[in-house]
């Protein structure tokens, strides 16, 4: 089933589409267009791999600070046209306003994507949708910065209601303000839920913006394929460390091509093994989230210990612990889990949390220690 057939299931339209030319859909290219030479150099290397469907380059860059490189702007459209002419690759760029749409359509760009910051604003999304009405250019909608699935789905629906037949989604991870070893949290269950809500939706993974660093891109790409995503969008630059934006996360063309071989160079699996892989990938993604959530919880426990130290309090406060336990057991029961199981898990978490707190309090003369804690819990390890 190709993308147009897939999308037709949700839109009821039966005209053939042009978005998916391969399986999976591969989009690659630099974060930003910098110079015509940099674009051509990257595109020529990528064109060597027939698995690449679209060449990407941002020309209007939604940067967090006004001091960063803001993109080359409209002149980049001609550079993209030249890339298409010289390499035969289809080209795509990000639009963030009706003006961008107008200019990109005039330049006959093959596909557009809407960035995470833009998707967060329904007013702008509607203006972009209005500018797209009556056209048939494929559009990919990135997830918004916040883990708000309804906002993401709403933006996709605004695009579909313009009559555009080929609308897909890009999962690029979600902003998280706390400690994290990735630039954005993947929260895989969100794109997976969106795929369930919108059967047939083309879901592309953008490991570059999730990872924020090169080393994690292969691992994330594998996970996306195990989750049965429809394709990948990966940032590639001839000299990544010198890139004008997102230098830490771009791959060299060589590393990108090696990754493609690693991902797609083998024979396809049987459908049973593929399903098993898909389910295991969901478990792996959930485990990563659990471990990450635990690390955030432990960090909070240490912060609490600092406050207790200031106030001259002990780490163990039975009333509070009982309150926490009752709450999670109720939550567990509401989610269909055995409350005894939840209690056991939480006993372990609490012991670790107290042990961390005691580490902080020790210097302040706390009377509680780990052995005492375990005894007070009547907890057998
Ligand atoms: C990009 O693709 O270069 C980009 C700006 O992405 P995002 O909207 O995901 O930050
Ligand atoms: Mn980027």
Peptide linkage before 45 cis (omega within 30 of 0): no
Looking at residue 365, the DSSP 8-state letter turns out to be T
Q: In this structure, what CATH number is given to the domain that contains residue 224?
A: 3.20.20.70
Please indicate, yes or no, whether residues 209 and 288 belong to a single structural domain of this protein. no
Q: Residues 25-35: pLDDT tens digits?
A: 999 999 999 99
116 CA to middle of ligand 1, Å? Answer: 6
Same domain for 286 and 340? yes
- What residue numbers bound the domain in which 173 lies? 3-266
Total residues belonging to the chain:
381
Domain assignment present for 307: yes
Give the pLDDT score at 184.
Answer: 96
How far is the C-alpha of 22 from the C-alpha of 91, rounded, in Å? 15
On the question of a cis peptide bond just before residue 24, with omega within 30 degrees of 0, the verdict is yes
Q: Domain check: are 277 and 176 in the same one?
A: no
Same domain, 326 and 346: yes
Same domain, 255 and 277: no
List pLDDT tens digits, range 267-295.
Answer: 667 888 888 888 999 999 999 999 999 99
Is 346 found in the same domain as 226? Answer: no
Asked if the model's pLDDT at residue 365 lies above 50, the reply is: no
The last residue of one of the domains, among 266, 291, 319, is 266
Same domain, 8 and 116: yes
Domain containing 331 — which CATH number? 1.20.59.10
Query: Which ligand minimizes its atom distance to the CA of 96?
Result: 1
pLDDT bracket for residue 317 (50, 70, 90): confident
pTM, rounded to two decimals: 0.82
Q: What is the mean pLDDT of the chain?
A: 89
**Ligand 1 in contact with 142 (CB < 6 A)?**
yes
Q: What is the pLDDT of residue 23?
A: 82
Residue where a domain terminates, one of 221, 237, 266: 266
Residue 8 has pLDDT above 50, yes or no: no
Q: What six digits make up the tokens of 172?
A: 């690029």
Residue 11: what pLDDT?
36
Atom of ligand 1 nearest to the CA of 115: 8
- Tell which one of 62, 92, 125, 249 to mutate to probe ligand 1, the residue whose CB is within 8 A of the most ligand atoms: 62
Is 381 among the domain residues?
A: no
Residue 178 banded pLDDT, cuts 50, 70, 90: confident
At 261 the three-state DSSP class reads helix
Q: CA–CA separation, 69 vs 63, rounded Å?
A: 7
| The domain boundary residue, chosen from 226, 250, 266 | 266
């Amino acid at each position: 089933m190709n993308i147009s057939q897939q999308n037709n299931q949700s839109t009821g339209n039966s005209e053939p589409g042009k978005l998916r030319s391969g399986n999976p859909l591969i989009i690659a290219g630099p974060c930003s267009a910098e110079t015509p030479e940099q674009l051509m150099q990257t595109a020529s290397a990528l064109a060597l791999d027939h698995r690449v469907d679209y060449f990407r380059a941002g020309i209007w860059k939604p940067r967090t600070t006004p001091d960063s490189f803001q993109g080359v702007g409209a002149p980049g459209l001609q550079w993209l046209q030249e890339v298409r002419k010289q390499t035969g690759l289809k080209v795509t760029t990000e639009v963030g306003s009706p003006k961008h749409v107008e200019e990109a359509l005039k330049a006959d760009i093959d596909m557009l994507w809407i960035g995470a910051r833009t998707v967060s604003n329904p007013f702008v999304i509607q203006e972009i949708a209005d500018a797209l009405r009556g056209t048939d250019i494929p559009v990919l909608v990135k997830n918004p910065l916040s883990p708000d699935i309804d906002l993401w789905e709403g933006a996709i629906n605004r695009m579909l209601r313009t009559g555009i037949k080929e609308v897909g989604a890009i999962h690029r991870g979600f902003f998280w303000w706390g400690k994290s070893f990735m630039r954005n949290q993947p929260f895989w269950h969100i794109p997976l839920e969106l795929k369930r809500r919108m059967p047939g939706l083309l879901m592309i993974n953008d490991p570059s913006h999730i990872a924020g660093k090169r080393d994690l891109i292969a691992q994330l790409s594998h996970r996306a394929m195990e989750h049965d995503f429809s394709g990948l969008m990966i940032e590639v630059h001839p000299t990544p460390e010198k890139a004008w934006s997102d230098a830490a996360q771009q791959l060299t063309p060589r590393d990108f091509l090696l990754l493609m071989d690693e991902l797609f160079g083998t024979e396809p699996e049987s459908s049973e093994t593929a399903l098993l892989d898909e389910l295991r990938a969901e478990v792996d993604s959930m485990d990563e989230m659990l471990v990450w959530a635990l690390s955030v919880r432990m960090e909070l426990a240490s912060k609490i210990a600092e406050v207790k130290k200031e106030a001259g309090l002990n780490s163990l406060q039975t009333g509070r612990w009982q309150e926490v336990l009752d709450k999670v057991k109720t939550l567990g029961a509401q989610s269909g889990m055995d409350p005894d199981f939840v209690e056991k898990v939480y006993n372990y978490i609490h012991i670790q949390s107290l042990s961390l707190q005691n580490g902080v309090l020790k210097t302040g003369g706390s009377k509680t220690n780990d052995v005492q804690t375990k005894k007070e819990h009547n907890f057998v390890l």
